[in-house]
Structure 1
Amino acid sequence: MSHQALLAEDINLLTEKRYTKEKKLGEGTYAVVYLGHDTKTNLKVAIKKIKLGNMKNGLDISAIREVKALKDLDHPNVIKLLDVYSHKKNLNLVIEYLETDLELIIKDKNLVFITADIKSWMFMTLKGLHHCHQSWILHRDLKPNNLLISTTGQLKLADFGLARDFGDASLPMTSETVTSSIDMWAVGCIFAELMLRTPYLPGDSDVDQLQTIFRALGTPTDEEWPEMSKLPNFIEFNKFPKANFAELFTAADSYALDLLAKMLTYNPNKRISAQEALAHPYFSNFPRPTSHEKLPKISKLIVETEAQQDERKRKLAQAFVNSSLDESPGPAKKLVF
């Protein structure tokens, strides 16, 4: 064994010894997440163990993408990758540990949101996403339980298991990948969920998902999305009228409704970008976003049963575990937004 190989092995061993695994938080098909402890800083960490032994062809491409994405990103609103080490046939990602996520906050009926709170969570989400897109990285799995919240209220984008690099938006890509606009559609759904306190546009299959979207937003037309009929596996759907957001989002002002409409624009070429969204009047007009330190937090007075505690841990672990690292999709029968 070469001197360089010995040196790398020693560094790996020292890194492994620095962290202790205390208890399992959750498990997916290819990964297990543990609550860990950094013996050097005395801080809690999350350790995501990717079980490479189950993969016939070595390291899964999703694991490579996740490590690369997290190493390339450095922003207050993006989760930090602290270390990486291998043990036997497993790759361990050491990630900063955050105790809750936006989904749990949305579902906590003891919390009351005001416009300024929603504005703050949206602003932090967009700042983190803008950094990803500036770094030529698509997240592709944005949802409330992948937006983690620190003890100080800072929101951070997490779970980059489906992330990938992208380049020139004019170059052809698969229908499952598209461009950075796919992330903005997801942010629009998160925005709507924050205002409604319930998931927006839920579907239980590809076709049902599209029917739900079209009923809520209206069926897209060739006039607003000329390239639509040329998409792979395009199929015709029933015609539903265009939505009036003001009827559903009754507490939203005109700026919020305009931003939401720009995020949920069917034509990805006309959809607002993260950078444009950050400059939208919604954020500069009254009320100003709540400072993250003053945002609503999960109530400490709630006494949870053991089953509820397990469910909370499972939900949090989903932000770290990608339970389906094999992202090879079947034949697509959908429009990709």
Structure 2
Amino acid sequence: MTGFCWRKSGLLGDMEEDRLGRCRSVKEFEKLNRIGEGTYGIVYRARDTKSNEIVALKKVRMDKEKDGIPISSLREITLLLKLRHPNIVELKEVVVGNHLESIFLVMGYCEQDLASLLENMQTPFSEAQVKCICFQLLTGLQYLHESFIVHRDLKVSNLLMTDKGCVKIADFGLARAFSTPAKQMTPKVVTLWYRAPELLLGSTTQTTAIDMWAVGCILAELLAHKPLLPGSSEIQQIDLIIQLLGTPNENIWPGFSKLPLVGQYTVRKQPYNNLKHKFPWLSEAGLRLLNFLFMYDPKKRATAEDSLASSYFKEKPLPCEPQLMPTFPHHRNKRASGTGAESQCKRSKP
């Protein structure tokens, strides 16, 4: 930790520097069970032996590092220390193990993640519950984007939920601060099933629109009770998008033909938008929102603010209150291996 550790103080985003001797040790936390694996580290459910609080303890992966903390983890720590919002997972502090290369993030604990719930729920979420989840996701995302941060890896396994129905965006290992004009970034981000078409076609300029495409995929997955675009390769992913939305062109997406990878694909000719056939029972307002989130042109795609204002959230069934969301006591605590973990791995493939 190069001589100091970080803790969140009472002031938003402030960092306190302690000498290493005052930094808390991971030995002050009792690991109860492993609950998952983020982009850059294993996550445990643990108990703070001093306060008795249950927390999530994320071990930072240092496998390939010889010169300190990975840059991805430094980014995650720096970003999360600046953020405080009910719908974003809280970083409480950073603690160390016996060696300087043994670093742990102490996070607020959430009982469930949505991917595991979707795999194991006997009864799917109702539309009112889906609206509740998505409204909270959009509220957290609006705060994130207004803080000039793009998440770049939104998917159901990175959405956590407490037993009080509060949804929290997690896993900021790929998140980046952004500026205007947008700087170039690597397109190899966002898990394949949730990856926006501009990323698949090689765009190196990324905006908050890539998060909004992922929101559309998440909303559709919750409504359909299965992933919307489960491609097994980038080529198949593009094909699935075109089958669903039709073939993009310069008229609907100015600059499309100039994207770096367009010439590498033989794009099928498909003139129709099939969202209505995919969701024949969905209201006109629901279809409008999905179509807005799935605009090919990133500049025309819905923002979080646009989406929160959608009439879909104002018509019946109305979003249920978070405290009325179903609870799944002990489900996550028991999950350590087996079918749930395997399907989680499938969902998490980049």
Q: Could you tell me the TM-score, scaled by structure 1's length?
A: 0.84
Q: Determine if the alignment matches structure 1 residue 245 to structure 2 residue 275.
A: yes
2: CA distance between counterparts of 1:317 and 1:194?
A: 16
Residue in 1 that maps onto 2:93: 83
- For the residue of structure 1 that corresponds to 2:337, the secondary structure is helix
Alpha-carbon shift at residue 67 of structure 1 (Å): 0.8
Which of 124, 132, 135 is the matching residue for 1:120?
132
Alignment of 1:290-301 (within 5 A): 290-298=320-328
1: CA distance between counterparts of 2:227 and 2:69?
A: 34
Which of 229, 235, 242 is the matching residue for 1:201?
229
Judging changes above 3 Å, is the alpha-carbon distance between structure 1 residues 291 and 27 closer, same or farther for their aligned structure 2 residues? Answer: closer
Alignment of 1:1-337 (within 5 A): 8-12=19-23, 14=24, 16-26=26-36, 31-52=41-62, 54-87=64-97, 88=99, 89-168=101-180, 170-174=181-185, 175-176=203-204, 178-235=206-263, 236-298=266-328, 310-311=337-338, 314=341
Question: 1 or 2 for the larger relative contact order (CA 8 Å, sep ≥6)?
Answer: 1
Alpha-carbon shift at residue 230 of structure 1 (Å): 1.4
Aligned partner of 2:166: which letter?
Answer: Q
Alpha-carbon shift at residue 35 of structure 1 (Å): 2.0
- For the residue of structure 2 that corresponds to 1:296, the secondary structure is coil
1: CA distance between counterparts of 2:4 and 2:160?
A: 38
- For the residue of structure 2 that corresponds to 1:310, the secondary structure is coil
2: CA distance between counterparts of 1:216 and 1:21?
A: 45
RMSD across aligned positions (CA)? 2.9
Unaligned runs of 5+ in 1: 325-337
Alpha-carbon shift at residue 22 of structure 1 (Å): 3.3
- For the residue of structure 1 that corresponds to 2:262, the secondary structure is coil
Say whether the 8 Å CA contact 2:116–2:340 is kept in structure 1. Answer: no
2: CA distance between counterparts of 1:299 and 1:35?
A: 14
Q: Bigger shift: 59-68 or 15-24?
A: 15-24
Number of equivalent positions = 313
2: CA distance between counterparts of 1:4 and 1:155?
A: 32
- For the residue of structure 1 that corresponds to 2:173, the secondary structure is coil
Alpha-carbon shift at residue 21 of structure 1 (Å): 2.5
Q: Could you tell me the TM-score, scaled by structure 2's length?
A: 0.81
Say whether the 8 Å CA contact 2:40–2:73 is kept in structure 1. Answer: no
2: CA distance between counterparts of 1:115 and 1:25?
A: 28
Alpha-carbon shift at residue 139 of structure 1 (Å): 0.7
Q: Give every structure 1 segment of 4 or more consecutive aligned residues whose post-TM-superposition deviation is greater than 3 Å.
A: 3-7, 14-18, 22-30, 297-300, 311-318
Judging changes above 3 Å, is the alpha-carbon distance between structure 1 residues 238 and 176 closer, same or farther for their aligned structure 2 residues? Answer: same
